[in-house]
Amino acid sequence: MRSERMQKQYEAMGICKEVCVFADRIEETLSERFVALEETAEYNQMKTLAAMQKNRVSAECFQSTSGYGYNDLGRDTLEAVYADCFKTEDALVRPQITCGTHALALALLSNLRPGDELLSPVGKPYDTLEEVIGIRPSKGSLAEYRISYRQVDLLADGGFDYEAIRRAIHEKTKMVTIQRSKGYAARPTLSVARIGELISFIKSIRPNILCMVDNCYGEFVEEMEPSEVGADLIVGSLIKNPGGGLASIGGYLAGKKECIENAAYRLTSPGLGKEVGASLNMMQSFYQGLFLAPSVVCGALKGAIFAASLYEALGFDVLPDSRESRHDIIQSITFHHPDAMQAFCRGIQAAAPVDSYVTPEPWAMPGYDSDVIMAAGAFVQGSSIELSADGPLKPPYTVFFQGGLTWHHARFGILMSLQKLYEQNLVNKNRMC
């Protein structure tokens, strides 16, 4: 239990005694799981440190470049560090990649050609990719370039439909996209081991199919990455896990050298590729963020497990549940009522270090097909390694919680979310006794 001094501090921050006592009881059950998370973080910390030492990261790597960015030591060294961290042939890590969706679009548009087909064997991808692919018409989509798309949905139990995948693969299938995290879907996140099994199956049918993994929210959650189990290309955002909360923009692709070269020529220009692209003043934060990422991800995972355990005890549907293994930092909680969902998000916002006084409201966010409510009082706009929560305001009213640069802040955010529900009588108080 927390000390009386700490209890008074929480009360001064707006958390009532009943919420604090209930949260303490939940946390006491999680000590063994937290130890396991620390062990994974330690392993991944050694991995990032080894990559930096191997590539002789120096103070000169933090110098800014402008203009064309020729011979940018920091940029080129950072890409070698990423390649070693993820055990790939090459990597592209650039501030010119604006977000995770941009990184994924870059990977697809650079490695697919007219007449090719893209296959998703894990169901529909994340909402913002619908316009990239052309599921929802949009300027510059794959569909406009005559690149077709098909998908195979997961089985009802979340398993892969291997026979349907086999039937879906044909001579035009050039690339398979595998989304590791569940996004806004009600399905389990894919472990690295399961991704490896799926890739092995696909390669057994046609070895030359490119397998790309959307690695967003998954970096450093496990000791291995999808690139270590057969993925030709993994893709992510620096304002999620690998930026460690310090990267203010950017994305990465890591994988086979040819795939990375294709992406570099698409990002800049044919004939220029990786040779250009100034790092501006980003390099120190990119290096330092990557170095801190394993510890930051560990804190976010503690917060996710704590949230699952707390809200499950209150009778809400949570995914993953309080006992499942973790393969990304996202925790979903289903409220089945719009008021409860909005109260949760307002609690997360109220716990933020930035814009804590703001009340989040649903709005028509670009790239989504319904209003979305988002709580994100972040140092970096949209950074979802920072404490945040969001979801489409439609049945079954599921919120997706993630991040927290420190475990203690993630914990406070969860307490504040419960406080808001408690004040509005949107939670069964008898379960807290």
Task: Give Dmax over CA atoms of the chain in angstroms.
Answer: 68
pLDDT of residue 167: 98
Mean pLDDT of 21-39: 96
Q: pTM value?
A: 0.95
Question: How many Å apart are CA 21 and CA 290, to the nearest integer?
Answer: 36
| Cβ atoms of residues 227 and 278 within 8 Å | no
Question: Cβ atoms within 10 A of the Cβ of 262, count?
Answer: 21
| Cβ atoms of residues 195 and 213 within 8 Å | yes
Domain ranges in the chain with CATH number 3.40.640.10: 64-280
Tokens of 278: 């100034």
Q: Residue 109: is its pLDDT beyond 80?
A: yes
Q: How confident is the model at residue 76 (pLDDT cuts 50, 70, 90)?
A: very high
Q: Residue 190: is its pLDDT beyond 90?
A: yes
Q: Which amino acid is at 286?
A: F
Give residue-wise pLDDT tens across range 305-331. Answer: 999 999 999 999 999 999 999 999 999
In the chain, the percentage of residues whose pLDDT exceeds 90 is 93
pLDDT of residue 5: 92
Question: How many Å apart are CA 243 and CA 248, to the nearest integer?
Answer: 8
> What is each CA distance from 166 to 119, 195, 199, in whole angstroms?
11, 16, 12
Question: How many Å apart are CA 320 and CA 333, to the nearest integer?
Answer: 9
Mean pLDDT of 169-174: 97
Q: Residue 154: is its pLDDT beyond 90?
A: yes
Tokens of 128: 């913002």
Give residue-wise pLDDT tens across range 363-407. Answer: 887 767 789 999 999 999 999 999 999 999 999 999 999 999 999
Tokens of 293: 């990422």
Question: How many Å apart are CA 279 and CA 307, to the nearest integer?
Answer: 38
Rounding to the nearest 10 degrees, give the CA dihedral for residues 248, 249, 250, 251: 90
Give residue-wise pLDDT tens across range 199-247. Answer: 999 999 999 999 999 999 999 999 999 999 999 999 999 999 999 999 9
Architecture of the domain whose range is 4-43+291-432: Alpha-Beta Complex (3.90)
Sign of CA dihedral 15, 18, 22, 28: positive
Torsion-angle region of 278 (φ positive above 0: left; ψ -120 to 50: alpha; else: beta): beta
| Cβ atoms of residues 418 and 401 within 8 Å | no
Q: How confident is the model at residue 1 (pLDDT cuts 50, 70, 90)?
A: low
Q: How confident is the model at residue 2 (pLDDT cuts 50, 70, 90)?
A: confident
Measured at the alpha carbon of residue 323, what is the angle toward residues 320 and 327, in degrees to the nearest 5? 50
Domain ranges in the chain with CATH number 3.90.1150.60: 4-43+291-432
pLDDT of residue 296: 98
The contacts of residue 9 (CB under 8 Å, 6+ apart) are: none
Q: Residue 186: is its pLDDT beyond 80?
A: no
Q: Residue 189: is its pLDDT beyond 90?
A: yes
Question: How many Å apart are CA 377 and CA 41, to the nearest integer?
Answer: 25
| Cβ atoms of residues 250 and 95 within 8 Å | yes
Q: 64-280 maps to which CATH number?
A: 3.40.640.10
| Cβ atoms of residues 373 and 335 within 8 Å | no
Backbone angles phi, psi at 388, to 5 degrees: -160, 165
Question: How many Å apart are CA 317 and CA 332, to the nearest integer?
Answer: 8
* Among 245, 262, 272, CA closest to 253: 262
Helices and strands of the chain, counted as H and E runs:
12, 12
Q: Residue 48: is its pLDDT beyond 90?
A: yes
